[in-house]
Amino acid sequence: MSLQTEEIYRTLLQNSADAVVVTDVDGLVTSTNPSFAKLVGDDTTNIVGSQITSFVDWHSHDDADVRLGHTSDKSDDEHGNDEPKPVTVLTRSGAEFIMPASRFPLKDEKTGTAWGFLTIIYVIQANSLQQAQTEFVSTVSHELRTPLTSIKGFADTILRAGDRLDVAQQRRYVGIIKDQADRLTRLVEDILAVSRLESKKLQLTIRAIDPREAIERVQQNLTDKAKNHKVIVNSANSLTPVWADADRLEQILTNLIDNAIKYSPAGTTVTITARGLERATANDAEMVEFAISDEGVGIPEEHLPQVFSKFGRLDNPLVRQTEGTGLGLYITRSLCLALGGQISVSSQPGNTTFTVKLPAATLEMQAARGRG
């Protein structure tokens, strides 16, 4: 390596916000950078010569497949593209942090034998994950506290002043408690759905589904909610099936139709359209499109991106009157992406349309799965 290149690497290492440690094959630290020293709360001079295991615990997480010593998956190492895995970083103060890290073998170019390992602990990524998690926890706590406060308040009133309340008042207060408990249940269910989606633990059973049947099932489930609206379904008699998970497809359609009903006045029409889309080029996948339109309040253009974010409820009279967690469209969008599809929205007062495109179950696709 030329002196200049060496200088570049040294400067990079010294100034990197991510923590870097080089060890020999026995795990003894041979060099490290200021970020690592800062992270573990010690001087670089003290760290050099120590065992890396006194700072980094690779095996404390089930899925922490970060290997110490010889590696089992050659191709990963050869390409140096190990996905970061969570490790526990043990600091001198006794505090422990779980952070993403990768470990790369350092090999002799000629013989191919490893002479050491380079470990990177991704401080920047860990900080932004931590921040997103903290924000989520604080929003969730706030969202949970609102119904809890109301449940506690009305229960207290009934307990303290029960005899002085007439039957109608008592029924009204118990009714509020029940509504708020229902809201809490919805929140917890949605938060669990978000957590499953984000931890990628979503189990999908993909098969060919008739779009009209899926729409009919959702319509049946929403009969009660839709009783003050006119719901129209527009679709060709023979439609290409969708290549999706039946429950998730129903969840997507339920969320969108439920919103169309919630955010449009009674007496207006909700239109559900399903159609097959032509391939734009031979390389494009064939798609099926579902469009759900309503004649409601609409979404101002500047707020359109916000509706797909977590807890993204807009402030307008219909939103204030309706129950919602603000997680529905976030979940819907994540499900569309998980199924290999996409979702978009266009809106103006009196007309909002959410459009979902999902892969069509073409004969090739079904045959590829051995079901053709």
Residues that bind ligand ADP (CB under 6 A): 255, 259-260, 263, 294, 296-299, 307, 312-314, 319, 324-330, 352
Pick 211 or 324: Cβ nearer ligand ADP: 324
CA atoms within 13 A on the CB side of 131: 6
CB-nearer residue toward ligand ADP: 45 or 321? 321
CB 312 to ligand ADP: min, Å = 5
CA angle 100, 106, 107 (to 5 degrees): 150
Nearest-approach distance from CB 179 to ligand ADP, in angstroms: 15
Residue 67 vs 357, nearer CB to ligand ADP: 357
In the complex with ligand ADP, which residue's Cβ is closer, 32 or 293?
293
Q: Shortest Cβ distance from residue 289 to ligand ADP (Å)?
A: 17
Residue 173 beta carbon to ligand ADP: minimum distance, rounded to whole angstroms: 25
CB closer to ligand ADP, 165 vs 319:
319
Work out how close the CB of 85 gets to ligand ADP at its nearest, in angstroms, rounded to a whole number. 32
Q: Mutual orientation of helices 246-262 and 328-338 as an angle, nearest 10°?
A: 150
Alpha-carbon radius of gyration of the chain: 28
Comparing every residue's Cβ against ligand ADP, the nearest one is 324
Q: Distance between CA atoms of 146 and 138, rounded to whole angstroms? A: 13
Q: How many CA atoms lie within 13 A of 119 on its CB side?
A: 32
- How far is residue 295 from each of residues 21, 129, 222, 292, 319, measured CA to CA in Å? 60, 39, 18, 11, 15
How many angstroms separate the CA atoms of 106 and 200, rounded? 32
Between residues 122 and 136, which has the closer beta carbon with respect to ligand ADP?
Answer: 136
Alpha carbon distance 211, 239 (integer Å): 7
C-alpha dihedral (24, 26, 28, 34), degrees to nearest 10: 50
